[in-house]
Structures are given as structure tokens and as C-alpha cells.
Structure 1
Amino acid sequence: MQESPVSGTASTLRRWTAMVGLAATFAITAPAFGAEAGGPYAQAIDTLADQLATRFVDPATGRRYADMLRTNAAAGKYDGIGDARAVAQTLTQDLQAVAPDGHLRVDVAPEGVPVQGPAPRGPRRVVLSPGETAPGGAVRRGSAPGPSLAPLDLPSVAETKWIADGVAYLRFNQFAGEPASVAAIQAFVRDYANADAVIIDTRTLARGGGLAEMDALFPYLFDRETVLVEMAVAKDGPRGGPTAGANTLREVAGPANMSVVQHVAVPAGEHRLAKAKVFYLTSNRTRSAGEHFALALQRTHRGTLIGERTAGANHFGGIEPIGAGLVAFIPVGRTYDPDTGKDWEGAGITPDIEVPADQALDKALALAKQ
């Protein structure tokens, strides 16, 4: 499926939000690879090296990844590995050893799942992608994200309720942008419009995702147009980078080789929640789009972050088929604070109030009642 690159269309937003971090997972049995000289994955490794050298968010690091892969391949490191999953895990470990990245990884392509693209001025991507966290445990900062066994139909909006008198509660599993989750946010801002405080819980995220849920909620939390964060992607790589289009993404001037957009909150007509206190609960499983959400609230002083430092998975991108039954998540851009230019890759985002994750809700409730 291809999307028009024309600026000013909703398709541009879809390309940007897809690149924030793909949210679905899969579980499959890996096909076996032979072990002949060079291996049937030699071309896939070379393709991966090319993609990283030309498209990785940091060009110098991308070239280091590519040099490592080609050196190892030439030395025969991958020749005797006879299983696709083992190849993918070895490549991921080698890449992370060069420079840790919270999204960069190689995995086995899911059988029977179509690949979208090539989309003009945007990355191709597999509809279902490797997971970002294991449901039972956290991803270490700077480590490769492990495979997730979370159900593919896991709803993005996990729970909404009155958790205390005047305090509305909203918990996320992910930010997949499915119509049901956007509808759930629309119902939330309608049903809890008179809340004195809103608690947003991302402590148990199964994975990241995109901007759709945020863009359904932010118009009700802000009473004036507000720049949240900036996002930058290389402008002139293969297939290039997308340009701004929807009313929440505004193209702004940036370096000559970069396409830069601001993510903007555009107020809705309903302003009652704009006066509510906002508390955002974090853990070391809060990652990717969950961290984008956290920075947007923190830097605008619209919400108080409570909990643990987040996972540190910043660089967004898409899933690329590289051949031989393998795919790779190629990070091509970053999200950052427009005031400082800093992002959270590897470091995570430090909450305003640091407490163990299992104490964050109690702390938020105590502050909400003050």
C-alpha cells in the first residue's frame, strides 16, 4: 500500500506516527537456514549494512554498524549459523555492542504478513513488527528490545474509571492507533470532562506505538495551542523522509539535511479538562511513544511525572525487509526537546517525582486530593 507524499494531507501524519514506533508483535517458528559458504543470509546482511549506513538517524553510528557487519561477514562469523532466529539474535547483539539503541533489532519476518511500501518519502514497514517489551519484564536501558508475547489484539486503552472522588484514571497497554482506542479516548474526554485530576498510567506498557491516542487526548488537556516536542528525520536518504501535513504536525526550519516537524497540541472547544491536574505514571517499561507522551507533558509543565526513569527508547523508524526471511527495525529519526535539543535515547526520562513504580499511583492520588 502506498501513500501520497503530498504535504498537507492526513497520509503524512500516518507516515510520521507509524515511524514513532511500530506497536504490534508476532510469534512464529523460524525457518532453518543452511550453512553453505557465505550463508544464504549474506545478501541480507549486506542490505542491512546499506540501510544503516545511509538511513540510520546518526550517520556516523550508522557507518560504524555497517563496517562491523561487513567485517564480521567477511570473516565468516555468520556462515555456520543454521537457524534464522539465531542469525537475527546474533546480528542484534552485534549491533547493540557497537552502540546501544532501544529500537534497532533484526528479527524473523512473520509468514504471510504483507509489507507496506515502498511508500514515497517514507520507510517500508511490515504491518506486524517485533515487540518492544516482554509482558512479564522490563527491557534494560540500552539493550535490544526482546520479543513480546503480548496478544496482537491487546487494546491500547487498557482501563478507564473514576479511581477516587473527582479523579479520572486512564491506563495504556500501547499506542497502536487502532480506531477502537481513539474512540475510547473520545469517550474518556466526554465521560470524565468534569474531573479535577487525571491520572495517566503507562507503567505496564507492552510496547510503544504512534501519536493517534495522544492527538485524541491533548486537545482537551491544553487551553491554548502548544508546541509539545520536535521530531527530525533525514531528508535525502533512500525514499527520503516525510514532511508535515496534519494540523498536529507542523514543518519548521531545521538543518539542511533534515526534515523537522513540531508536534503541536491544538485545543478543542471543550476546555474543562484543561484545568484538571495531570499525573503521568512511569516505570522502566514506559518506552518509545510512552516516552514521547511523557516529555510532551513534562516540558510544557502540563503534567507531573511520577514513578521510575523510563526505558530510553527514543529513535523512531520502521520495519524493513532485508531478505532471506529477515526484517530489521531501522531507526531513522529522533524526538527531542525543542528548548534543549536533547532526546532520551539510552538515558530515559527522569520523573518529576521519583518513586518505585508500584508506589506511583498512591503518590499521584495523594497529590490529586491536595
Structure 2
Amino acid sequence: MEHTEIERIVARIRELVATRYVFPDLGERIATDFGEAASTGRYAGAASPAALAELVSEDLRRLSGDGHLRLIHHSEPIPDLTDEAASAAIFERRSRTTMSGIGRLERLDGNIGLLQIEPALFGAHLVGDDIAAAMQILRNTQGLIIDLRACIGSDPAAVAYFCSYLLPPGTHLNDVYDRTEDRTTQYWTLPHVPGPRYGTDRPVYVLTSRRTFSGGEELAYDLRHTGRAVIVGETTGGGAHPRIGVRLHPHLEASIPTCRSINPVTGTDWEGTGVQPHIPTTAQDALATAHAALTRASEGTAL
């Protein structure tokens, strides 16, 4: 990469962190410390966009402890559009190439349903019909396992849409404060969904891993704190700050957290702490553990 191009990207990241990061005072401190690292020539020798992304992300994580604050390298070119349109195009492409984020849909022994969401729970405007179709297939199962072990993203509206199949209409799930607009948006389950709801009576287990992140964590957190699901697996990654994406280069996107979640039950979120499982086990053993528990429950045996 050209030295002038690296300088331009680094300067733009500093500006974004200082002016848009969800916590203003911390954003200014991070931007200052990041600039000091840049002044030592740390990034000047980056040979490629991928190498620059790795260096910058390492420093931003060290300075902030925020897993959403990073420089993302994309192997395919980012569309040269407005920031919002470019981000939308990236998610649309990912949803098309990952079967709408439905990694696995299966009936396990004992008539237990399994729905794996990977790599993300995409927006309902992209995959709503496919989620509705999956829930239609699962409608007569005895219990449901939602596998979020490789789910690394979503947005609050998509989480609310999915939770609407599992919780009563009008359930308050999450609030999100947006620094950019200085306003808080509430998210509730919907009064209507396409197809049948799964309902509130049958047991639901959620599988998590250390990889589970961001919107995947919100889905687990909301289902945990509404009392709707049992969480099985590992403590999740701990990224609760919704972000914006800003195109800085054909292959580089700055990820800047501009919002924070506020759960109506806990009054806080999972930033830095992750979602704690009810039944701790390794990610590898989580499915077998949840399936065994659901099988015992369907047979009338106490968990």
C-alpha cells in the first residue's frame, strides 16, 4: 500500500472514533492514543489492506476493549456507494451466499427441532420469508434447539422479528441508545408474524460459544432474560455495541460502534462480559447436552 493512502485511512479512523464512538470521552482518548501509535510508523509498513486491517484492529481492541471497534478487510470489493448503502449491499450479498443464514434445519431424535443460524441473523427484509419457512417446518416439534455457536451478527430489529415467533406479542426486548442521533429506540416483539408462532409453552434451548457475538449475543441475551430459553455452552464474546460501517478503501471498512444496548430487565447489556450460559459446557458438547436435556423433559423426567 502507498504511504499516503495509509495515512489517509488512519486519519479518517481517528476522526470517526473521536466524533462517532458511542462514549464521547473514551472515543477522544482512543483517537489520541491511536494517533500516537501511528506517529511511531507502526502502520507505515503494511504491505496490503489485510495487513493494515490486522494491525489497526489489534490496536483498537487493545485501546478500547470493544470487539466491534476495528478495521475490517473484505476479500471482495466493497461497493462504492454511500456508507449505509455499501453496508446494506455487503449484508445482502452475504445472505445470498449463506442460504439466508440458515446453516442447518433438522429434526433430531425425540422430535426435537434444530435451527442453526450461521453466520448471522440477517434482516427480515432480506430473509424474513426464509425464517418464516423454517419456523413453519419446525412448528410441530416437541422442543427447539437454536444453535448460535457460529452466529456473529444481527441487528435489533431482526432479533425482535425472530423472537416474535417464541414470545408473546408486545414483549419488550431491548433499547438502543444512538449517540449520533442522541435518541433511544425501543424494540418489542411484533403483533403479527408470517405463518404460525412457535409459542411459549414448548422448551427452547440456545447453544452458544466464545464465537457467538454481537446480534447473535443479543438473541441469546433476550431469550435468557425473558425466561424463554435455557442457554447451553460457553460464555459469548461480549460485543453489545451496534456499529456503523464506513468504506475507507475498496477492501477496507471501518467498524465504529455508535450505539449501546439497554436491556429492560437487567438495565445493562453484555458488553465485555458476554452472555452467561445456564448450563456451562464446551461448544463441542453443547448440542448433545441440550438434546439430552430436551429428551428427558419430553419424557417427563426432571431436568
Q: Does 1:300 align with 2:262?
A: no
Helix, strand or coil at the partner of 1:221: coil
Supply the AA of the counterpart residue of 1:202: L
Helix, strand or coil at the partner of 1:40: helix
Mapped to 2, the partners of 1:315 and 1:164 lie a distance apart of: 38
Q: Do 1:114 and 1:126's aligned partners in 2 also have CA atoms closer than 8 Å? A: no
- Provide Cα deviations, 1:259-301, integer angstroms capped at 9, x if missing partner: 1122211244845533211111111111111101011101100
Alignment of 1:39-54 (within 5 A): 39-54=4-19
Match of 2:89 among 127, 147, 155: 127
Mapped to 2, the partners of 1:151 and 1:260 lie a distance apart of: 28
- Provide Cα deviations, 1:143-200, integer angstroms capped at 9, x if missing partner: xxxxxxx997122011222213342211111223376742232122223323331111
Match of 1:352 among 270, 278, 296: 278
Match of 1:153 among 87, 94, 97: 97
Residue 334 of structure 1: how far off its partner (Å):
1.9
Residue equivalent to 1:175: 121
Mapped to 2, the partners of 1:190 and 1:167 lie a distance apart of: 14
Residue equivalent to 1:13: none
Mapped to 2, the partners of 1:197 and 1:109 lie a distance apart of: 38
Supply the AA of the counterpart residue of 2:89: V
Task: Give 4+ residue runs of structure 1 displaced > 6 Å after superposition.
Answer: none
TM-score by length of 1: 0.70
TM-score by length of 2: 0.84
Q: Does 1:117 align with 2:117?
A: no
- Higher helix proportion (structure 1 or 2): 2
Structure 1 window deviating more from structure 2 (305-314 vs 171-180): it is: 171-180
Residue equivalent to 1:363: 289
Residue equivalent to 2:22: 57
Residue equivalent to 2:207: 281
Residue equivalent to 2:37: 72
Q: Do 1:126 and 1:319's aligned partners in 2 also have CA atoms closer than 8 Å? A: no
Supply the AA of the counterpart residue of 1:226: T
Residue equivalent to 1:138: none
Mapped to 2, the partners of 1:297 and 1:78 lie a distance apart of: 42
Supply the AA of the counterpart residue of 2:67: G
Mapped to 2, the partners of 1:261 and 1:179 lie a distance apart of: 19
Q: Does 1:187 align with 2:133?
A: yes
Residue 321 of structure 1: how far off its partner (Å):
2.2
Helix, strand or coil at the partner of 1:101: coil
Q: Does 1:34 align with 2:34?
A: no
Residue 85 of structure 1: how far off its partner (Å):
2.8
Distance 1:78 1:184, change over 3 A: closer
Mapped to 2, the partners of 1:66 and 1:56 lie a distance apart of: 10
**Percent of pairs with identical residues:** 27
Residue 210 of structure 1: how far off its partner (Å):
2.9
Distance 1:60 1:152, change over 3 A: farther
Alignment of 1:169-248 (within 5 A): 169-173=114-118, 174-177=120-123, 181-205=127-151, 207-211=152-156, 214-234=159-179, 240-241=180-181
Residue 61 of structure 1: how far off its partner (Å):
1.9
Mapped to 2, the partners of 1:261 and 1:348 lie a distance apart of: 22
Distance 1:197 1:267, change over 3 A: farther
Residue 324 of structure 1: how far off its partner (Å):
8.7
Unaligned runs of 5+ in 1: 1-32, 130-149, 235-239, 242-257
RMSD of aligned Cα (Å): 2.8
Mapped to 1, the partners of 2:155 and 2:126 lie a distance apart of: 14
Residue equivalent to 2:48: 83
Mapped to 2, the partners of 1:77 and 1:271 lie a distance apart of: 53
Q: Do 2:159 and 2:215's aligned partners in 1 also have CA atoms closer than 8 Å? A: no
Residue 359 of structure 1: how far off its partner (Å):
2.2
Mapped to 2, the partners of 1:166 and 1:324 lie a distance apart of: 48
Residue 325 of structure 1: how far off its partner (Å):
6.3
Supply the AA of the counterpart residue of 1:34: E
Of structures 1 and 2, the one scoring higher in RCO (CA 8 A, sep 6+) is 1
Distance 1:159 1:86, change over 3 A: closer
Unaligned runs of 5+ in 2: 298-303
